[in-house]
Amino acid sequence: MSHKQSYAGADPLVRPATQSEAKESVSAPRRPELTSTLARKCLIPAAALPIWLAFSFIAIAQNPGVVKSAEDLLAGPMQAKATTACTECHEARIIVQQRLSKAAWTKEVDKMIKWGAVIDASDRDPLIDYLSGNFGVEQPQYQPPRTSSEKKPVAKLK
């Protein structure tokens, strides 16, 4: 599943339980195929999806205020391999917010290999170079987005 699929708005990966669900049971798919989920949710016929997605991209292009629910890794020689190796388990945003030295990135990459990240031995050093080059101590700080505001008055708690 491409991480770019989550451009389309609410991230089904992190759907929280509503109160009514909390009383009964909660079942949230962890890694659903977003296209099929959206198709089911929105009742969009499969044939209409490309058109719908195209309009979504146009809307995003015209509205720079729209925030991606998942972050992308920066372009570079190891972008694709880093995306595959790292975002299998966690969002790229975890990476792009780091500002680490090469030594610190080396420790992180080796820890992640130990924890199951699939990285060919020949890719280890280029991956460390890519990470420390793009997310090193000299880069400006990452500015995280926010969740949208629900605009509802918050009940006073007693």
Residue with Cβ nearer other proteins (93 or 124): 93
Least Å distance, CB 31 to other proteins, is 9
Report whether 5 contacts 35 (CB < 8 A): yes
- Residues of this chain, 59-98, that bind other proteins according to CB under 8 A: 63, 65-70, 88-91, 93-94, 97-98
**138 part of the interface to other proteins, by CB under 8 A:** no
- Residue 71 CB: number of other CB atoms within 10 A? 20
Tokens of 155: 């009940």
Q: How far is CA 101 from the centre of its chain?
A: 23
Residue of the chain from 42, 59, 77, 142 that contacts other proteins (CB under 8 A): 142
Distance CA 77, CA 56 (A): 29
**1 part of the interface to other proteins, by CB under 8 A:** no
Residue with Cβ nearer other proteins (16 or 45): 16
Stretch that binds other proteins, among 42-50, 75-83, 107-115, 122-130 (CB under 8 A): 107-115
- Residues of this chain, 32-61, that bind other proteins according to CB under 8 A: none
* 68 half-sphere exposure, CB direction, 13 A CA radius: 15
87 burial (CB, 10 Å; 0-12 / 13-18 / 19+) is buried
CA-based radius of gyration for the chain: 19
Residues near other proteins (CB under 8 A) are 9-11, 13-19, 21-30, 63, 65-70, 88-91, 93-94, 97-101, 104, 107-108, 114-117, 137, 142, 144-150, 152, 154-158
